[in-house]
């Protein structure tokens, strides 16, 4: 008798709690995103606010933009949040994403020793700054990870007029050019070890400079200009390509990010009074 009562109790518990558990599991989406949104601390600030407003949990996979877009192409993510406009547009045109939402922007900067041994502070533009680094054979750290930052670095090398190899890297880089195949945080730390230069997004740099207990000595030695603008977009993965993706929840995230509420949260994220990202919904 007691055994039957126990089984009935367990069955009742399943009946009454099961749908709620299933519903909670259904309100979880996977976002593949560039390392800078996580390394800057933005997602730790942003996503709890999103969950509070919507009840949706976002599971984050942080990697370079190229790898994040491949996650979307392979159906391994419900939504991508990245920063390489041309590849994002191609992602949508090829049918892998439904729409690119303009979310926010910051900018790229060139970080290096305060004494600036390559003299890039006086460069006319960012491409010339990169050329001066190469001419001085000053240590330069490349992410080398097919990220949005790496893509912008290669664009700058192309504009610099230097002789490049097939990977769009300086052909004569032996001894000073370090391609590490890692994220922004690792690249910043390696550049400090080398007392060298690195192209970084401002948000991650400020987080490493101001948001940690450990000191970070390298400073901003070149900034500004159209070549260093850095817009971010969010794209729900197309359910016509991958029917299993949670498109409705992914779209809810995208629309929340560009809503007045989401834009306010993004704009309010600061370190020591300095904003790391600027709202850019259009």
Residue 73 lies in a domain: yes
pLDDT digit string, tens, across residues 108-152: 999 999 999 999 999 999 999 999 999 999 999 999 998 889 999
Residue 204 lies in a domain: yes
Query: What's the rounded mean pLDDT across residues 161-186?
Result: 94
pLDDT band at 24 (very low <50, low <70, confident <90, very high): low
pLDDT cut 70: percent of the chain above it = 91
CA dihedral (76, 78, 83, 86) positive or negative: positive
| pLDDT attached to residue 212 | 87
Residues 171 and 164 sit within 8 Å (Cβ to Cβ): yes
Residue 245 lies in a domain: yes
| pLDDT attached to residue 39 | 85
Instruction: Let me know how long the chain is.
Output: 282
pLDDT digit string, tens, across residues 63-106: 989 999 999 999 999 999 999 999 999 999 999 999 999 999 99
**164 and 83 in a common domain:** no
pLDDT digit string, tens, across residues 34-44: 988 998 899 99
pLDDT cut 90: percent of the chain above it = 81
pLDDT digit string, tens, across residues 189-243: 999 999 999 999 998 999 899 888 899 999 999 999 999 999 999 999 999 999 9
Q: Using CA atoms, how far apart are residues 189 and 163, in angstroms rounded to an integer?
A: 28
**196 and 152 in a common domain:** yes
**235 and 217 in a common domain:** no
End-to-end CA distance of the chain: 66
Helices and strands per DSSP (H, E), number in the chain: 11, 12
Q: Using CA atoms, how far apart are residues 274 and 268, in angstroms rounded to an integer?
A: 10
- 37: domain CATH number is 3.40.190.10
How many domains does the chain fold into?
A: 2
- Checking if the pLDDT of 21 tops 70, the result is no
Q: Using CA atoms, how far apart are residues 119 and 168, in angstroms rounded to an integer?
A: 23
Residue 80 lies in a domain: yes
Residue 136 lies in a domain: yes
Residue 254 lies in a domain: yes
Q: Kindly state the greatest CA–CA separation across the chain.
A: 88
Structural domain for 196, as ranges? 106-229
**125 and 211 in a common domain:** yes
Residues 6+ apart with CB under 8 A from 92: 98, 99, 100, 235
Helix (H, G, I), strand (E, B) or coil at 94: coil
């Amino acid at each position: 008798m007691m055994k039957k009562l126990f089984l009935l109790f367990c069955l009742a518990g399943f009946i009454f709690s099961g749908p709620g558990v299933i519903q909670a599991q259904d309100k979880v989406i996977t976002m593949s995103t560039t390392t800078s949104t996580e390394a800057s601390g933005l997602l730790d600030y942003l996503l709890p606010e999103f969950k509070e407003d919507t009840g949706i949990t976002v599971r984050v996979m942080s990697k370079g933009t190229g790898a994040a877009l491949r996650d979307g192409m392979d159906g391994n993510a419900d939504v991508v949040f990245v920063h390489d406009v041309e590849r994002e547009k191609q992602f949508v045109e090829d049918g892998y994403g439904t729409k690119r939402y303009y979310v926010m922007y910051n900018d790229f900067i060139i970080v290096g020793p305060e004494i600036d041994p390559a003299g890039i502070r006086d460069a006319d533009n960012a491409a010339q700054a990169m050329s001066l680094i190469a001419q001085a054979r000053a240590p330069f750290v490349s992410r080398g990870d097919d990220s949005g930052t790496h893509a912008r670095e290669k664009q700058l090398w192309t504009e610099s007029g230097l002789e490049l190899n097939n990977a769009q890297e300086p052909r004569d880089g032996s001894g000073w050019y370090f391609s590490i195949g890692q994220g922004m945080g690792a690249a910043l730390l390696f550049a400090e070890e080398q007392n060298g230069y690195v192209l970084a997004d401002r948000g991650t740099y400020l987080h490493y400079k101001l948001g940690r207990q450990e000191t970070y000595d390298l400073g901003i030695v070149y900034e500004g200009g159209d070549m260093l603008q850095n817009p971010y977009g969010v794209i729900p993965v197309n359910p016509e390509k991958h029917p299993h993706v949670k498109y409705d929840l992914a779209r809810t995230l995208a629309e929340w990010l560009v809503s007045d509420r989401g834009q306010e949260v993004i704009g309010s994220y600061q370190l020591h009074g300095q904003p790391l990202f600027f709202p850019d919904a259009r």
